[in-house]
């Protein structure tokens, strides 16, 4: 397997056997200071592995933050920026983001605004970050539980993906990560969807991660700043992000990102059927698969108004019309489709009928 993917922005993505490539990168960079950003879980489970395989990591200072989506906010980010300053990082410094999508999004953001931008690399350690969040140059923070309200477009210098990190990832997080792999297959590769469907959702092969990265990379290369085709990557996310924000605001044991996106994909497949010609048989195929593999989430009709208000705050909307990316068939997706509130309510009803 070729384990290097070139992006159109010029940064490489390495998959598997990363220690040699990472050592080469760190030795060639001549950075004045290198800091590793971790959360407490990746500090415990991933940093020791990296220390063993890459000598230079032992010389780095560490910034550790609390884990989880509720910490992906501006207050924690200010703490990171202050520590970067305390460690006297100058413009010729490097930040290494070692973690899941939360650490990659936060670290990418912090690096992109610190002293007007310093170099950073991602070493994703969750499946979701390997297959999706570390690719494509978006950074983000939540504000008032609204997803990624603050963010920048900023490319890392390189991404190093080592599936060995997944051994310590909790099973619930692993399944959550599959949501974005499934999304990539639904929007762009029907064969991949059929192949994912046949397997148990356990630690994936490096090939599956590579194929998923390739789908995202191909789409992002055509439209880095999301003016057009990149919007297809938002399939499942208009309703999914609203549910994730709602759950972050209301539940102690909140929905994980991928879990919310899986429900979003069920609802938006319904909308795809209603508004964009997704065949009935394929709607059933998608829903059966997602219901079987992902936990359900109890919402009530009394929550619809709040959810729709959250959807209205979505960054992708134009003039407060709620915009969707919807499947035409499995493997093909269109974007900029406006749905009315009664369509959205019907989609939520569609989901609710299965979990009542």
Ligand X SMILES: NC(=O)c1ccc[n+]([C@@H]2O[C@H](COP(=O)([O-])OP(=O)(O)OC[C@H]3O[C@@H](n4cnc5c(N)ncnc54)[C@H](O)[C@@H]3O)[C@@H](O)[C@H]2O)c1
Residues that bind ligand X (CB under 6 A): 39, 41-42, 45-46, 67-69, 72, 99-103, 105, 125-126, 128-129, 132-133, 136, 138, 140, 147-148, 165, 168-169, 173, 176, 180, 257
Residue 211 CA to residue 195 CA, distance in Å, equals 12
Name which of 136 and 275 has its Cβ closer to ligand X: 136
150 DSSP β-pair partners: 141
Name which of 39 and 334 has its Cβ closer to ligand X: 39
Name which of 125 and 276 has its Cβ closer to ligand X: 125
**Minimum CB–partner distance for residue 135 and ligand X (Å):** 7
Burial of 127 (0-12, 13-18, 19+ CB in 10 A): buried
Helix (H, G, I), strand (E, B), or coil: what is residue 196? helix
**Minimum CB–partner distance for residue 205 and ligand X (Å):** 17
**Minimum CB–partner distance for residue 131 and ligand X (Å):** 9
Specify whether the CB–CB gap between 296 and 355 falls below 8 A: yes
Name which of 31 and 240 has its Cβ closer to ligand X: 240
**Minimum CB–partner distance for residue 56 and ligand X (Å):** 20
Name which of 153 and 304 has its Cβ closer to ligand X: 153
**Minimum CB–partner distance for residue 45 and ligand X (Å):** 4
Name which of 78 and 321 has its Cβ closer to ligand X: 78
**Minimum CB–partner distance for residue 239 and ligand X (Å):** 15
Say how many Å lie between the first and final Cα of the chain, rounded: 46
Name which of 63 and 103 has its Cβ closer to ligand X: 103
Name which of 89 and 159 has its Cβ closer to ligand X: 159
Q: List C-alpha distances in Å: 255 to 148, 250, 268.
A: 16, 10, 18
Residue 330 CA to residue 285 CA, distance in Å, equals 10
- Concatenate the DSSP letters of all residues of 3-59 into one string: -EEE-TTS-EEEES-HHHHHHHHHHHH--S-EEEEEEHHHHHHTHHHHHHH-GGGGG
**Minimum CB–partner distance for residue 11 and ligand X (Å):** 14
Q: What residues have CB less than 8 Å from 93, skipping those under 6 apart? A: 31, 32, 33, 34, 35, 84, 118, 119
Residue 74 CA to residue 313 CA, distance in Å, equals 18
Specify whether the CB–CB gap between 129 and 207 falls below 8 A: no
**Minimum CB–partner distance for residue 208 and ligand X (Å):** 17
Residue 211 CA to residue 233 CA, distance in Å, equals 15
């Amino acid at each position: 397997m070729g384990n290097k993917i070139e992006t159109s922005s010029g940064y490489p993505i390495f998959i598997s056997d990363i220690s040699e490539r990472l050592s080469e990168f760190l030795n060639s960079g001549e950075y004045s200071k290198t800091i590793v950003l971790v959360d407490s879980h990746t500090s415990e489970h991933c940093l020791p592995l990296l220390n063993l395989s890459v000598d230079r990591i032992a010389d780095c200072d560490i910034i550790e933050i609390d884990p989880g989506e509720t910490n992906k906010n501006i207050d924690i980010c200010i703490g990171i920026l202050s520590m970067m300053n305390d460690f006297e990082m100058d413009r010729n410094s490097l930040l290494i983001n070692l973690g899941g999508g939360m650490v990659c999004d936060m670290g990418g953001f912090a690096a992109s605004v610190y002293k007007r931008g310093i170099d950073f690399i991602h070493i994703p350690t969750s499946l979701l970050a390997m297959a999706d969040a570390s690719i494509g140059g978006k950074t983000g923070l939540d504000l008032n539980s609204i997803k990624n309200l603050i963010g920048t477009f900023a490319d890392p210098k390189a991404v190093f993906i080592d599936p060995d990190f997944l051994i310590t990832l909790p099973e619930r997080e692993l399944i959550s990560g599959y949501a974005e792999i499934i999304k990539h297959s639904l929007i762009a590769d029907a064969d991949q969807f059929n192949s994912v469907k046949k397997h148990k959702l356990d630690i994936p092969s490096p090939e599956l991660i590579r194929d998923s990265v390739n789908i995202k990379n191909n789409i992002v290369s055509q439209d880095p700043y999301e003016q057009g085709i990149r919007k297809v990557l938002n399939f499942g996310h208009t309703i999914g992000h609203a549910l994730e924000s709602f759950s972050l605001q209301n539940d102690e044991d909140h929905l994980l990102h991928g879990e919310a996106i899986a429900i979003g994909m069920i609802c938006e497949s319904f909308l795809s059927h209603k508004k964009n010609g997704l065949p009935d048989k394929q709607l059933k195929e998608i829903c059966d698969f997602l219901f079987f593999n992902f936990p359900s989430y109890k919402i009530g009709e009394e929550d619809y108004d709040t959810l729709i208000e959250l959807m209205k705050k979505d960054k992708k909307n134009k003039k407060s019309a709620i915009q969707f990316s919807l499947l035409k068939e499995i493997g093909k997706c269109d974007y900029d489709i406006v749905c009315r509130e009664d369509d959205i309510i019907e989609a939520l009803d569609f989901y609710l009928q299965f979990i009542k």
